[in-house]
Amino acid sequence: MASCLSALTALAAVLLLLLNLAQRRGAGAPTVVLRPPARTAASLGLRNAKPDVAAHASPPACELINQTSRLRCELGVSFGCDDESMWVEGCRGRFRCGGALVYCGYFSPPPKGSYGRPRYRCHCNPGRVYLYGLSAAVGPSESLRSMPLMVLQPDGPTRTLNLGPLYVRYVNRTKSNKPNAVALCDSHDDASVLANKAAVRDVAAGIGARPKAQSRDDWQELRALNPSIAPAPPGLCKRCAYVAAVRVDALHQCPGSIFTLPAWVEESAVEWFKHTAIVVLDAQLEPVGWTWLLNSPDEQMRPNGDVQPGAADVFAPPGRKSVWDARLLTAAGGVLYITYSCPGCKFRISELQITAGSIETNGRLTQLQAWVIASVAYPREPWLQGRNQALFWSGADSTLMVQPWFGLVGIFGAPQRFTQKASCTGSPKEYQQCGAFLGQLRAPRAPAGPVRLAHNNTASEVPLSGPRGARLSISANLMRISRSPSCHALLGIGHLHRREGEREFDYGSCVGGRRCHRRDGGQRQSRRRDELPPQPFRFGYYYTHFFYTIEPHAPYRLLSTSQEFCLSAVDAPSDCESVQFITGMALNASAPDPQLVISFGTNDCESRFVGVRIDRIWQMLRPMRETGSVCSTS
């Protein structure tokens, strides 16, 4: 009974206290807020509670936009990234990483019988994908002759060749579904091109399903790359200073191009267009006109082909017998020679004929035509085959020579020059002589003769080899230069191919940690899949170049080389583009100090020209022998 009274007394005291508080509150007393005790993880009986990441952590470096794999893409588990690249393991899709949209988890060729959870890495910082980072990429111990690599600054502005907007699509298919004609559009505003580009943008933006294969009849965007420059034939026009052969390709790798998407390319069964254009340049390296090369007029012109007789300037290109990566060489008297690559081609030398009309008031050249008038193939000389031979002239009799590899020199002899007069009436039998030309033609002729291996210096001279056994190749035709009246040499440019793109490796052979090999069976750069660096390019990248000299007379021994270099990038003078490929050089004797005009392609996207003073090149050269010279004094 007493305990009950105590409880009632305590309850009454509490009620009295609450009544007093209410009276004070009504009189303007301060409000007292009673908060519940904080609920910690321990008080709730939880362990290792995760903090509120959304409220306190910075946004993740990468995120999934849409998933295209059956396995789940989970950040930190099946995909992740840093500032330079991202990785995926067992998942595939479209991601945002480093400010760029990245397709990761695709590779070529598609795996056959693949198993496990293959891991791939992809570049995701667009600002670094297209720059070399030369000092970080190649150390002194990995360079040619252990000389430090350099970024070569040009003497004067860099010129970029722009042929304008170009789109092509294949039409007029045969019964076997092979195209035999090409339609050309040179406007961004064409209705059919706009419709196709809208569909492309939808795919790139992830609208709907994953990227589908391009239609065989869709428009393909073209870019010009890998130009080879040579002096223009005399009499072509007053403004005509140079001629350049340019590769025009739909499988370019320009930033943001839909054709660089892995799934888009790999899943399509499309005839991707590539061919050669001939561009005429003035002394300032500005184009005054261009046209398509007719390398096989008898098969590219009607009735066998689709090019009309008389076609000139920017006509619809031929739909068959395409060639690319052409090299030009000008002979005394104005005869032009051209070499090129094509499917199943053996090495051949062709004579190039160029005709033009007049310069219009706007500075453009009219009625420009370019075609091959004769071609000689050399299929039975294995030492001559490859994609990067250097032609040159030697001796007072202007003997035509060739350097297919370092240490090997072949001789064609002195071409017999004559002028051929032809009536170009459009008869098919005359196409090989006249191309698309109409009327009377007087063509200077100098056909190449049979070839023989004249000098093999691979065993006797100081060996020149790339670091870690990397193959050294030749980039451009040779040129005779002189340092003094008693110091002469033949100048060339060579290159090292340091990285293979995705298409060069058989990634299907290295799933599950096996060794990856080149598709051609070579062992160079064979490595485990998880050791492969991020692959920003589908084709080869990280080329470095070097100057070299050989004797201007027999036995044409190697005299000197420079250190490796890359050419200064337009937007980053202290660095270079990740893909630079030099394909030609010509002398600019009109400059205050004689310069070498170097033509090259960048990032499989653009054609550029730079000038470098010849006296700087002499200073870069180092003799192969301690007591040797960089030139010949005999």
Q: Strand 242-249 vs strand 223-231: parallel, antiparallel, or unpaired?
A: antiparallel
Residue 142 has pLDDT above 50, yes or no: yes
Question: 3-state DSSP call for residue 600?
Answer: strand
DSSP 518-574: BTTS--TT-EEGGGPPP---SS-EEEEEEEEEE-SSTT--EEEE---EEEPPSS-TT
Q: Is residue 34 part of a domain?
A: no
Note whether residue 402 is domain-resident: yes
The closest alpha carbon to 149, from 158, 136, 162, belongs to 136
Quote the pLDDT of residue 340.
93
Q: What is the mean pLDDT of the chain?
A: 76
Q: Could you tell me if residue 117 is inside a domain?
A: no
Number of domains in the chain: 1
pLDDT digits (tens, 9 = 90+) for 40-72: 333 322 222 233 333 333 434 788 988 878 888
- Closest C-alpha to 129, from 584, 597, 579: 579
Residue type, 367: Q
**At residue 391, does pLDDT exceed 60?**
yes
Question: What pTM did the predictor assign?
Answer: 0.79
In degrees, rounded to 5, the angle at the alpha carbon of residue 244 between the alpha carbons of residues 242 and 246 is 165
Give the DSSP letter of residue 75: B
Instruction: Tell me the residue type at 294.
Output: L
Three-state secondary structure of 231-243:
ECCCCCCCCCCEE
> For 197-254, where are the E strands, in sequence order?
220-221, 223-231, 242-249
Say if CB 298 and CB 428 are below 8 A apart: yes
Side-chain half-sphere CA neighbours of 179 within 13 A: 21
- Give the count of beta carbons closer than 10 Å to the beta carbon of residue 84: 15
- Is pLDDT of 129 > 70? no
Q: What is the CATH number of the domain that holds 212?
A: 2.115.10
In a domain, 342, yes or no: yes
pLDDT of residue 591: 80
Distance CA 517, CA 507 (A): 8
Q: Is the peptide bond before 234 cis (omega within 30 degrees of 0)?
A: no
Task: Please give the residue that has the higher pLDDT: either 58 or 18.
Answer: 18
Q: Is residue 141 part of a domain?
A: yes
Residue 561 has pLDDT above 90, yes or no: yes
d(CA 360, CA 260): 39
Q: How confident is the model at residue 601 (pLDDT cuts 50, 70, 90)?
A: very high
What residues contact 115, with CB distance under 8 A and at least 6 apart?
511, 512
Does 111 map to a domain? no
pLDDT of residue 128: 57
As beta bridge partners, residue 351 has 337, 374
Token digits of residue 150: 């350099």
pLDDT per residue as tens digits for the range 498-516: 777 655 554 444 444 444 5
Residue 157: HSE in the Cβ half-sphere, 13 Å Cα cutoff: 6
Query: Is residue 480 predicted with pLDDT exceeding 70?
Result: yes
Residue 75 forms part of a structural domain: no
C-alpha 227 chain-centroid distance: 12
Q: State the residue range of the domain holding 397.
A: 135-501+537-623
Report yes or no on 6 lying in a domain: no
Per-residue pLDDT tens over the stretch 439-458? 888 777 777 788 999 999 88
pLDDT tens digits for range 265-301: 444 556 788 999 999 999 999 999 999 999 999 889 8
